[in-house]
Structure 1
Amino acid sequence: MTALYGAALPASARRLPELIEATRIAEDLGADLVTVSDHPYLPNELDAWTLIPLLLARTERVRVSPNVTALPLRTPTVIAKAAATLQFTSGGRFVLGIGTGGPFERIPVWGGTWPTHGEAIGALDEAIPLIRRLWGTEPVDHEGRYYQLRGAVAGPAPKPAPPIWVGSFKPRMLALTGRHADGWLPTNAYLSLDEVPQMRRVIDDAATAAGRDPSAIRRVFNVMGVISESEPERNDQLLVGSAEFWADALIDYRERLGFDSFVFWPVRGDTRSQVELFFEKVVAMIING
């Protein structure tokens, strides 16, 4: 599977010019993907689904994705319609990143549909195949535990359908990823690297049980950290160090942990300069050996 390299960029209202410029820089330097977090309950962040059309309009080649959207705050029909529209208007450059939202305790108090995380996981398990059906051309009747539809069509039918990547960490969500997702999108800040092999096994076993080829599921790692020559090196829930240190770490993540693609999530410093370092130095070192 061809490697993808992307950047997670700030959705902060006060950093909007930085977001737009960093997106342009990423595309100019060969990025495959630009993502923005979807935390509408945070008053200092702009809405990801409103930002994404802006970023798609300011770019020509790079794919754009929410990282990741919270299902309990939007219905599958609305997500399917919005995703189909973005795929249609962008010429096929939208990726649907989706999950249950996090931290989950913020979701119910902001009006989320499901009061418990367990219910949200069950709803996502039902919603992903439902979204795929809504991208078809036939009206959808659905009588499920969480959703009921009568003659629903999202349209216009996106061709191709957007990839669906799931942000998941725990066994139920990992199994759901294996059954339904085109990609797995975890984040280093929320896991231990030692846990990744077992997480992969849960995904692979669920995919096999569902009659799917596990190798068809893209493994995309959100890597939070800082590219810096001066800060102490670390490689755990954050990756901090020089460009060479980063390149070695991502190669290790690929060869030892099985990730095929990476999204750089700068946590400090100027996003534009961090994005330049990532694509001009880190990615170049990986590609050029």
Structure 2
Amino acid sequence: MEPRNLHGVALPASAKRFPHLLDSARLAEDLGADLVTVSDHPYLPGELETWSLMAMLLSRTERVMVAPNVAPLSLRPPAMLAKAAATLQFTSGGRFALGLGVGGPFEQIPGFGGAWPAIGPAIDALDEAIPLIRRLWGTEAVTHEGRFFRLHEASVGPAPEPAVPIWVGSFKPRMLAVTGRHADGWLPTNAYLDLDEVPGMSRRIDEAAAEAGRDPGEITRVFNVMGTISDRVPRRDDRLLTGPADHWIAALHSYRDRLGFGSFVFWPVEGDTREQIRLFFDQIRPHLS
């Protein structure tokens, strides 16, 4: 898959803010967003089920891609993930991307019926699951006898067209290696990492890709940037990006030039979500080309 620069928004699956979800997605599309993502934390009682929401968002938008940010494999087996993704790709006319990971905070997942009680096996399962999902998107039935998954003549059909990109949310070495081996994109979040560690993380992805015979340059680097656009907050560019538009523009240029991210997902954490989206696409996005 040929990477391209994307600019989008991350929206909560909050039941309380449900009306704003629809308005915010349509507003982002109207303002030129390429992508709308929705957080996927089904174990949080205040949040709605993300895959149901994504189907609705795709039906009420016309151009933007939609993706979970990110779906926890521990709660959704590969065959059903493949089927759901293929269905959304088919019904949307090719506007779906599969954000995938082990889920977080992981400690809440076992209590919600997660398949593995510890994160180690969950990472190993993801390593097995991604190529299996891609096989299931093919035209032939799949029989698979793996460590974590067993399928017999399974076929999800119809094969998604175009192919669904898989973006992995990863931070630690083993997950970064999985990303390099299998993913079309890397989808980390600024709130959960130290910016100084990003070059080393990116190298780990590149090394794993090269070891797997893949071109590291084909892995899209998509950065979730949590923060607030406001003149009334102190300037920060570490685990949250906060400050006025000129501060955001300088920081995102640095993330692109210094850290290698070409695509950004704006994740507003304070203020009116719709106004934050308007500020991002009116005042910041035009300076990112």
Is the TM-score greater than 0.5? yes
Partner of 1:72: 74
Partner Cα distance (2:198, 2:119) in 1 = 22
Amino acid at match of 1:103: P
When the two chains are superposed, the root-mean-square deviation of aligned CA atoms in Å is 0.6
Partner Cα distance (2:233, 2:200) in 1 = 31
The secondary structure found in structure 1 opposite 2:109 is helix
Partner Cα distance (1:152, 1:70) in 2 = 22
Partner Cα distance (1:66, 1:2) in 2 = 19
Partner of 1:115: 117
Amino acid at match of 1:130: L
Aligned 1:244-255 pairs, distance under 5 A:
244-255=246-257
Which of 27, 30, 41 is matched with 1:28 structurally?
A: 30
Aligned 1:135-174 pairs, distance under 5 A:
135-174=137-176
Partner of 1:91: 93
Partner of 2:190: 188
The secondary structure found in structure 2 opposite 1:262 is strand
How far apart are residue 183 of structure 1 and its match? Answer: 0.0
Amino acid at match of 2:101: G
How far apart are residue 113 of structure 1 and its match? Answer: 0.2
Partner of 1:264: 266
Partner Cα distance (1:165, 1:204) in 2 = 15
Amino acid at match of 2:38: V
* Matched positions, count: 287
The secondary structure found in structure 2 opposite 1:146 is coil
Question: Percent identity between the aligned chains?
Answer: 68
How far apart are residue 286 of structure 1 and its match? Answer: 2.2
Partner Cα distance (1:141, 1:212) in 2 = 25
How far apart are residue 285 of structure 1 and its match? Answer: 2.2
The secondary structure found in structure 2 opposite 1:232 is coil
Which of 203, 212, 225 is matched with 1:223 structurally?
A: 225
- Kept in 1, the 8 Å contact 2:4–2:220? The answer is no
Task: Name structure 1 gaps, 5 residues minimum.
Answer: none
The secondary structure found in structure 1 opposite 2:13 is coil
How far apart are residue 216 of structure 1 and its match? Answer: 0.1
Q: Does residue 126 of structure 1 match 2:149?
A: no
Amino acid at match of 1:207: A
Runs of 4+ in 1 over 3 A off after TM superposition: none
- Kept in 1, the 8 Å contact 2:171–2:188? The answer is yes
Partner Cα distance (1:53, 1:24) in 2 = 14
The secondary structure found in structure 2 opposite 1:149 is strand
Partner of 2:181: 179
Amino acid at match of 1:81: K
Instruction: Please give the per-residue CA displacement for 1:237-257, whole angstroms capped at 9, x wherever unaligned.
Output: 100000111011001000000
Amino acid at match of 1:232: P
Task: Name structure 2 gaps, 5 residues minimum.
Answer: none
Amino acid at match of 2:12: P
Which of 280, 285, 288 is matched with 1:286 structurally?
A: 288
The secondary structure found in structure 2 opposite 1:12 is coil
- TM-score, normalised to structure 2's length? 0.98
